[in-house]
Amino acid sequence: MTFPSTTVQMKKRIVALILAISVLGSSVIIGRLFQLQVVQAEDLQKRAARQQMRVTSLSAQRGTIYDRNGEILAMSGTVWTVYLSPVDIDSEEERQLIAKGLSEILDVSEEFVLEKSQRNTYYEIIKKKIERPLADEVTKFVTENNITCVGLEEDYKRYYPYGTLASTVLGFTGSENQGAYGLEAYYDSALSGTNGQIVSAKNAWGTDMPFKYEKMYEAQNGNDLVLTIDINIQRFVDKHLEQAVIEHEVQNKACAVVMDVKTGEILAMSTKPDFDPNSPNTIYDKNVQAQLDAITDEDARQEALLEAQYAQWRNKAISDPYEPGSVFKIITASAVLEEKIVGLNNSFTCTGSYESGGVIYHCWKLAGHGTQNFAQTLQNSCNPAFISYGQALGKEKFREYFNAFGLTQTTGVDLPGEASSIYHSDEDFGITELSSSSFGQTFKVTALQLITAVSAAVNGGQLMQPYVVKQIVDEDKNVVSETTPVVKRQVISNETSATMGALCESVVSDGSGRKAQLPGFRIGGKTGTSEKLGANDSEWKILSFVGFAPADDPQIAILVMLDEPKLNDPYGSTIAAPIVKNMLADILPYLGFEAELDVDEDTSVETPYLTDVMLEEAQAQLIDAGLKARIVGEGDSVLKQVPQAGYEIPYGGTVILYTDETELAENVPVPNVLGKTGKQANAAILNAGLNIKIEGDFPDNVQTQVVSQSPLPDEKVQPGTVVTVTVHQVGDTSANESP
């Protein structure tokens, strides 16, 4: 029998089989391990990290925006995000309690919280950017109910302390603190900083492990911006521009730019109507909101709302090119004087029209200006004269200067949304286009391009680079970068520029810019009125005025532009010039310029009749009279004035202009100044909102004492009333006197 040998043979086969299976199994295991540990290692590590680590974001604080004086224009304040960890909810009872409590505190629905609480996650946002009072309520709620699955994370929210002030320049931020418009968008990378993280390890049960397994990556706060904008100049500009928009029913907004002509720094830039960046989606223009409310179809209304929001965020001074009209004559005049094609003694006879290339161009004065010298053609803003200057200059030279003054390119200002000019191509620039371009029509430039060009014409001939941000500094106030004035090119000579300053001063003193005259100051400027086709093919106008001061050594320039004022026969000379005048009346004394007036301190002035006069015009009349205005109310015309018309008050006194019946101020008591010095009486009466008239016969440089006053002490009078005090000499100026 062969059984034994067979058994041995079978054993050998079994052993071989086992070895084969072992080798094969080991190979499979080794192959799988290779697959997991080498081929799929990186992917598996990422998946494990996601399952084992919890990442909490730490928001970086966005940088602050300051004006040139250190006033805060935009800042970030602490807010909180309320979050929920659904997997840590202990019971259904706790789930219902959380839904009810958070819905009541945070004004969200219970269903919303319940839906979030059903998810198998560790982090669900319930509400973002809540203020401290609500955060305190949430903290109290979770503490009192011993809830551990609801938490608060610090975040930041953008605040704009001055509301609408310079809103189209500043812009605003989006829901995630990212820059959305204006400087906030342009300098977003500098302002935003870098968010940090807290990375926490979790165990197999999904709960956080001890702090030794936690890693924190600190947030890097954003840098701050220091602007060239001056908050006080911006206030002056905003105030007068807003008044003008209301008074003149401007249909397509207005804008203004104030520039330091020597450096290119923008001191103020305004568009009206504008918006409040604290609530950028809210329509600020009441007329636009009324139009939206009248739309009944919801889809159409939402579309119109979106368009209205984009429109109110738009910075008109840099984004909307327009035909500049006669303000551009400064550029044409500069070019022909620089090329010595026309001299100051040259004359031109205006008959009221001018034929060129088969087209008849009319002067605004249909009867013509007659024979004028060069200065008078600018003073009179004579279109035919400037057509002749443009043709004498020629197409090539005209285009050369148009480009040299920076009008074929964007200025490169550090703001988003700057538009390019719209100008004739070389092929399409014929005699007709040259004629119309020479007096500022048939092409478009932005307000910023134009004021930059005009500044070059009067600052010594240098085209400057305009800018808004002066410095970028870190949170420790170290300067990261600084902008310094940049001269792009010398456009005209210093001599030609000085001549242009004098010529523009004559426009204000003797020409179409008379309404920009400011007593005691030398003002230069130029009016502009351009035509365009508006709605229903009716004719609309754009009114503008550029002014600069002091005319003999210009420091600042202001350009105001009103797009489609709803007036009969409006002109830049009658409407825009007084607005610039009123702005300069506020700005120049603020900048330290003193009026040069030959006026006796005892001079009395008769108050003009201002009732029913539009507010901007009323202020201009008071400036001409040597008086100041204090406005009470939100109206656009004067309902009442104190003192009344024809009343004599001291030169430099204040007239109260009431523009709203609801704002008529209550009477104020007259302070008791009997026995006080003249200086003390003056301070007390002016501080009470009253005017003072001092009577008495005494020499200069002596100390005086009030012996009588009218009205009597404590008598109730209207603000602005003149209090007459009689003083007598009591000593000389060596005596001590406290104000």
Q: Which residues are catalytic?
A: 326
DSSP state letter for 675: T
* 326 SS3 class: helix
Which residues, listed in sequence order, are joined to residue 614 by a DSSP beta bridge?
637
In angstroms, rounded to a whole number, what is the distance separating the alpha carbons of residues 525 and 553?
Answer: 13
Contact criterion met (CB below 8 Å) for 725 and 674: no
In 3D space, the residue among 410, 395, 257 whose CA is nearest the CA of residue 335 turns out to be 395
Would the CA dihedral through 144, 148, 150, 154 be positive or negative?
positive
Q: What tokens does 173 get?
A: 């931020």
CA distances from 220 to 96, 186, 562 (A): 39, 19, 44
Decide if 179 contacts 187 (C-beta within 8 A). yes
C-alpha dihedral (229, 234, 235, 241), degrees to nearest 10: -170
What secondary structure letter does DSSP report for 212?
Answer: G
For residue 573, what are the CA distances in angstroms to 176, 454, 483, 527, 588? 47, 17, 36, 5, 21
Interatomic CA distance for residues 609 and 621, integer angstroms? 9
Hey, is 511 helix, strand or coil?
coil
Place of tokens 């004599």: 648
Sorted by sequence, the CB contacts under 8 Å of residue 396 that are 6+ apart come out as none
Question: Could you give phi then psi for residue 642, rounded to 5 degrees?
Answer: -140, 125
Q: What is the DSSP letter of 634?
A: S
* C-alpha gyration radius of the chain: 37
Distance CA 208, CA 459 (A): 68
Q: Which of 517, 720, 703 is CA-nearest to residue 610?
A: 720
Task: Give the whole-angstrom CA distance, residue 32 versus residue 20.
Answer: 18
- Compute CA distances 213 → 47, 54, 426, whole Å: 18, 11, 71
CA 533 to the chain's CA centroid: 29
Cβ-in-10-Å burial (0-12, 13-18, 19+) of 364 comes to middle
Q: Residue 445 and residue 447: Cα distance in Å, rounded?
A: 7
Q: Render 418-433 in DSSP notation, one character per residue.
A: PPPPB---STT--HHH
Residue in the structure block whose two tokens are 């319930």 = 126
Dig out the tokens for 127 from the structure: 């509400």
Q: Are 89 and 95 in contact (CB under 8 A)?
A: yes
SS3 category, 533: strand
Please spell the DSSP secondary structure of 36-92, one letter per residue.
IIIISHHHHHHHHHHHHEEEEEEPPPPPPEE-TTS-EEEEEEEEEEEEE-GGG---H
- Which alpha helices (H) appear in 519-653, and where do they start and end? 577-590, 615-624
Pairing type for strands 65-66 and 224-227 reads parallel
Cα-based angle 530, 536, 540 (whole degrees, multiple of 5): 15
| Beta strand spans in 322-436 (E) | 347-350, 353-356, 359-362, 370-373
